[in-house]
Homo-oligomer: A and B are copies of this chain.
Amino acid sequence: MNTLNINGERLWQALMDLAAIGATPKGGNARLALTALDGQGRDLLVRWMREAGLAVTVDQVGNIFGRRAGRNDALPPVMTGSHIDTQPTGGKFDGCYGVLAGLEVMRTLAERGIVTEAPLELAIWTNEEGSRFLPVMMGSGVFAGVFPLETALEARDSEGKRVADELAAIGYAGGAPVGREVGAYFEAHIEQGPVLEAADRVIGVVTGSLGVRWYDVTVTGMEAHAGPTPMPMRRDALFGATFLMQEVVKIARDFAPHGRGTVGVVNLHPGSRNVIPGAVRFTVDLRHEDAEQLARMDARFRAACAAVADGTTTGAVLPVDVQQVQYFKPTPFARELVEQVRAEAAARGLTHQDIVTGAGHDAVYIAGVAPTAMIFVPCKDGISHNEIEDARPEHLEAGANVLLGAMVARAGLPAGA
State whether B272 touches A195 (Cβ < 8 A): no
- Residues of chain A touching chain B, judged by Cβ–Cβ distance below 8 Å, are 191-195, 198, 210, 212, 214, 224-233, 236, 238-239, 242-243, 245-246, 249, 252-253, 256-266, 268, 271-277, 283, 285, 287, 357-360, 382-385
Beta-carbon nearest neighbor of A255 in chain B: B231
A268 and B272: CB pair below 8 A?
no
Q: How many copies does the complex hold?
A: 2
Which chain B positions have C-beta within 8 A of A264?
A: 226, 268, 271-277
- A382 x B194 contact (CB < 8 A): no
Instruction: Kindly state the separation between the CA atoms of A388 and B311 in the bound complex, as whole angstroms.
Output: 28
Q: Complex Cα distance A230/B288, Å?
A: 11
For the complex, what is the distance from the CA of A96 to the CA of B258, rounded to whole Å? 62
- Specify which of B194, B228, B233 is in contact with A229 (CB 8 Å cutoff): B194
Please, how many angstroms separate the alpha-carbon atoms of A233 and B210 in the complex?
Answer: 17
**C-alpha gap A276/B266 in the complex (Å):** 12
A322 smallest CB distance to B (angstroms): 15
A208 CB → nearest B CB, Å: 13
* C-alpha gap A226/B263 in the complex (Å): 9
- Given A191-B228, A226-B262, A266-B266, 13 more pairs with CB closer than 8 A: A193-B230, A210-B227, A224-B382, A225-B358, A226-B264, A227-B357, A229-B382, A238-B266, A263-B277, A264-B272, A264-B276, A265-B271, A273-B283
A227 to B266, CA, bound (A): 19
Q: Which residues of B contact A385 (CB under 8 A)?
A: 225
